[in-house]
Amino acid sequence: MTEQPPAKKSFKDEYIAFLIAFGIIGLAIAFVIGQAVSKVVNAFVKDIIDPTIGLVLPGSLNNMSATVIGIYGVPSEFKYGDLISNIIEFIIIALLVFMAYKLLKKYKFIEEKPEEKK
Protein backbone atom coordinates (compact mmCIF):
# COMPACT_ATOMS: atom_id res chain seq x y z
CA MET A 1 0.00 0.00 0.00
CA THR A 2 2.93 2.36 -0.09
CA GLU A 3 2.76 4.88 -2.86
CA GLN A 4 5.79 5.29 -5.00
CA PRO A 5 7.12 8.81 -5.44
CA PRO A 6 6.70 10.25 -8.91
CA ALA A 7 9.50 9.40 -11.32
CA LYS A 8 12.22 12.01 -11.33
CA LYS A 9 12.37 13.97 -14.58
CA SER A 10 15.61 14.73 -16.31
CA PHE A 11 16.80 18.31 -16.63
CA LYS A 12 15.96 18.27 -20.34
CA ASP A 13 12.39 17.07 -19.68
CA GLU A 14 11.87 19.71 -16.98
CA TYR A 15 13.26 22.42 -19.30
CA ILE A 16 10.96 21.42 -22.17
CA ALA A 17 7.96 21.32 -19.82
CA PHE A 18 8.89 24.81 -18.61
CA LEU A 19 9.09 26.15 -22.17
CA ILE A 20 5.73 24.67 -23.06
CA ALA A 21 3.98 25.70 -19.83
CA PHE A 22 5.00 29.34 -20.07
CA GLY A 23 4.69 29.69 -23.85
CA ILE A 24 8.32 30.75 -24.21
CA ILE A 25 8.66 29.22 -27.67
CA GLY A 26 5.65 31.14 -28.98
CA LEU A 27 6.98 34.30 -27.38
CA ALA A 28 10.38 33.82 -29.02
CA ILE A 29 8.79 33.25 -32.43
CA ALA A 30 6.59 36.34 -31.98
CA PHE A 31 9.67 38.38 -31.01
CA VAL A 32 11.62 37.33 -34.11
CA ILE A 33 8.66 37.98 -36.41
CA GLY A 34 8.08 41.33 -34.69
CA GLN A 35 11.67 42.36 -35.34
CA ALA A 36 11.37 41.44 -39.02
CA VAL A 37 8.08 43.33 -39.39
CA SER A 38 9.62 46.33 -37.64
CA LYS A 39 12.49 46.40 -40.16
CA VAL A 40 10.09 46.20 -43.10
CA VAL A 41 7.88 48.97 -41.72
CA ASN A 42 10.95 51.10 -40.96
CA ALA A 43 12.15 50.75 -44.56
CA PHE A 44 8.64 51.46 -45.88
CA VAL A 45 8.36 54.67 -43.87
CA LYS A 46 11.87 55.91 -44.69
CA ASP A 47 11.81 54.95 -48.39
CA ILE A 48 8.15 55.52 -49.35
CA ILE A 49 6.27 57.65 -46.79
CA ASP A 50 8.99 60.21 -45.99
CA PRO A 51 9.72 61.09 -49.65
CA THR A 52 5.99 61.25 -50.38
CA ILE A 53 5.50 63.73 -47.55
CA GLY A 54 8.59 65.53 -48.85
CA LEU A 55 6.74 66.22 -52.09
CA VAL A 56 4.25 68.35 -50.17
CA LEU A 57 6.54 69.77 -47.49
CA PRO A 58 9.88 71.46 -48.09
CA GLY A 59 12.60 68.81 -47.86
CA SER A 60 12.56 65.37 -46.27
CA LEU A 61 10.56 64.60 -43.17
CA ASN A 62 13.68 63.53 -41.29
CA ASN A 63 15.37 66.88 -41.97
CA MET A 64 12.55 68.98 -40.53
CA SER A 65 13.63 70.83 -37.42
CA ALA A 66 13.23 74.08 -35.54
CA THR A 67 16.10 76.04 -34.03
CA VAL A 68 15.46 78.12 -30.93
CA ILE A 69 17.94 80.48 -29.32
CA GLY A 70 18.14 79.92 -25.56
CA ILE A 71 18.52 82.55 -22.83
CA TYR A 72 22.31 82.40 -23.01
CA GLY A 73 22.38 82.76 -26.79
CA VAL A 74 23.04 79.04 -27.40
CA PRO A 75 20.90 77.57 -30.18
CA SER A 76 18.93 74.37 -29.56
CA GLU A 77 17.66 72.30 -32.46
CA PHE A 78 14.39 70.38 -32.15
CA LYS A 79 14.21 67.62 -34.78
CA TYR A 80 10.48 67.08 -34.89
CA GLY A 81 10.54 65.46 -38.34
CA ASP A 82 12.24 62.35 -36.97
CA LEU A 83 9.64 62.19 -34.20
CA ILE A 84 6.80 62.37 -36.75
CA SER A 85 8.48 59.59 -38.76
CA ASN A 86 8.72 57.37 -35.66
CA ILE A 87 5.08 58.04 -34.77
CA ILE A 88 4.06 56.96 -38.29
CA GLU A 89 6.11 53.76 -37.88
CA PHE A 90 4.45 53.05 -34.52
CA ILE A 91 0.95 53.53 -35.95
CA ILE A 92 1.67 51.18 -38.88
CA ILE A 93 3.16 48.49 -36.59
CA ALA A 94 0.21 48.78 -34.17
CA LEU A 95 -2.19 48.43 -37.10
CA LEU A 96 -0.37 45.31 -38.36
CA VAL A 97 -0.42 43.74 -34.90
CA PHE A 98 -4.15 44.45 -34.60
CA MET A 99 -4.80 42.95 -38.04
CA ALA A 100 -2.79 39.82 -37.12
CA TYR A 101 -4.77 39.52 -33.88
CA LYS A 102 -8.09 39.77 -35.75
CA LEU A 103 -6.94 37.16 -38.28
CA LEU A 104 -5.76 34.73 -35.59
CA LYS A 105 -9.01 35.24 -33.67
CA LYS A 106 -11.06 34.61 -36.80
CA TYR A 107 -9.41 31.23 -37.39
CA LYS A 108 -9.56 30.34 -33.68
CA PHE A 109 -5.78 30.27 -33.19
CA ILE A 110 -6.20 32.42 -30.10
CA GLU A 111 -8.97 32.61 -27.55
CA GLU A 112 -10.31 35.66 -25.85
CA LYS A 113 -10.25 35.52 -22.09
CA PRO A 114 -13.72 35.83 -20.60
CA GLU A 115 -14.37 39.12 -18.86
CA GLU A 116 -14.49 39.00 -15.09
CA LYS A 117 -17.76 40.05 -13.54
CA LYS A 118 -17.52 42.76 -10.92
Q: If one looks up domain 13-106 in CATH, what number appears? A: 1.10.1200.120
- On whether the CB atoms of residues 58 and 78 are closer than 8 A, the answer is no
Residue 89: in which H helix or E strand, if any?
Answer: helix 80-106
Q: Is 75 helix (H, G, I), strand (E, B) or coil?
A: strand
DSSP-derived secondary structure for 3-58 = PPPPPPPPHHHHHHHHHHHTTHHHHHHHHHHHHHHHHHHHHHIIIIIHHHHHHHSS
- On whether the CB atoms of residues 99 and 37 are closer than 8 A, the answer is no
Query: Which has the closest alpha carbon to 86: 75, 98, 94?
Result: 94
Per-residue pLDDT of 20-68, as tens digits, reads 777 777 788 788 888 998 999 999 988 888 888 888 887 778 788 889 9
Per-residue pLDDT of 72-117, as tens digits, reads 989 999 888 888 888 999 999 889 888 888 887 787 766 666 666 6
Q: How far is CA 114 from the centre of its chain?
A: 25
Question: pTM value?
Answer: 0.64
